[in-house]
Structure 1
């Protein structure tokens, strides 16, 4: 079964495997599958939290590493199921390498939004990357004018409603991933050549990375940035 899932969507399956491995490490370190980040060295090193991001040259990498961490097995399972199912559709359309780029860019874009809008809250999870995939999937369905677009919009709506109603869920992380995915969708569906698509994806990636680095630099120099919400 695992081999079949990998053949259908190798990047999505690999991303799920990495998330499962990271969860297993944190669970072993904390000796818990529900409080797996409570006493986890890996969790402490990768959680997205602005005050900890200027303590070393590798601090900004939390913007990506935090997307592999999850708080509890339920949080992790929801994200990996959505990631695989939506990621598979994206891989069938754009191919595995571009899908990998969407996942990474979506995760960093979501982290950038969190750092600018709610940096006082430690944040983890692959939801930002998943929301980026959702936005791309909606655009794919719309471009094909098929019935999937309605289901994709409902999926986004239900997830956003859950975000608003559930305490402790990062609204800004989800919105950041959705916004990044929307920009990526416009770039990928407008461009006809693979080279142009890669150029556009790299440009968006550079922008979200710059947003992260600027936010860390502003914080490290004592600046407040924009008002916190």
Structure 2
């Protein structure tokens, strides 16, 4: 079964496996499945939190590392299931390498939005990348004139409603990932040819990374409490 899942969507499956592995490490370090980031050295090193990002040259890498961290089993399962199911459709349409680019750009876009618009709380989770995938999935369904477009829009609506109603969930992380996904969709469907798509996606990824670096260089003190994506 694992081989079949990997063959269908290697990038999505490998990302899920990496997230599960990292969750296992944090759970072992903290000796907890529900409070796995407390007492975890890996969690301390990767949580997205602005005041901790300018202490070393590697600090900005939290913008990516935090997308692989999750707070509790339920948080991890929801994100990994959505990531695989939606990522599989993206891989079928655009191939695995471009899907990897979508995931990285979505994660960076979400982190940039958090750092600029809601940096007060430490933040973790892959939902930024998942929301980017959702936006691309809507664009794919629309381009195919597929009946799934309604379901895809409903999925985004339900998740945004949950975000607004639930305390401790990062609104800006979700909105940032969704916004990145919209821009990615414009690139993927607005240009022709693999090379042009790669140039456009690389430009978006570079812009998101630059937004993170600029914000880190300008940082001011944040707040407290862990937010999950």
SS in 2 for 1:70: coil
- TM-score normalized by the length of structure 2: 0.96
Query: What is the alpha-carbon distance in structure 2 between the residues aligned to residue 170 and residue 28 of structure 1?
Result: 26
* Contiguous gaps of at least 5 residues in structure 2: 223-229
Question: Given that residues 50 and 221 in structure 2 are in contact (C-alpha distance below 8 angstroms), is that contact kept between their aligned partners in structure 1?
Answer: no
Normalised to the residue count of structure 1, the TM-score between the two structures is: 0.96
1:111-150 correspondence to structure 2 within 5 Å: 111-150=111-150
Q: CA RMSD in A?
A: 1.1
Q: Does 1:61 align with 2:61?
A: yes
Could you say what secondary structure the match of 1:120 adopts?
coil
Q: Which has the higher contact order (CA 8 A, sep 6+)?
A: 2
Distance 1:189 1:39 in 2: 45
Tell me how far apart the structure 1 counterparts of residues 157 and 101 of structure 2 sit (CA, whole Å): 25
Shift of 1:150: 0.2
Tell me how far 1:120 sits from its aligned partner. 1.0
Equivalence for 1:70? 70
Gapped runs of 5+ residues in structure 1?
225-229
Q: Deviations over 1:171-222 (max 9, x none)?
A: 0000000000000001001111000000000000010000000000111xx6
Tell me the secondary structure at the aligned position of residue 83 of structure 1.
helix
Spell out, residue by residue over 1:121-153, the C-alpha distance to the aligned partner (whole angstroms, 9 max, x if none): 100000000000000000000111110100000
Deviation at 1:114, TM superposition (A): 0.1
Q: Which residue does the alignment assign to 2:214?
A: 214
Counterparts of 1:74 and 1:147, CA distance in 2 = 30
Give deviations 1:37-91, integer Å, cap 9, x for gaps. 0110000000000000000000000000000000000000000000000000000
Contact map agreement 2:131 2:178 (CA 8 A) in 1:
yes
Q: Which residue of 2 aligns with 1:198?
A: 198
The size of the alignment, in residue pairs, is: 222
Give me the whole-angstrom Cα distance separating, in 1, the residues matched to 2:221 and 2:207.
Answer: 20
Runs of 4+ more than 2 Å apart:
none
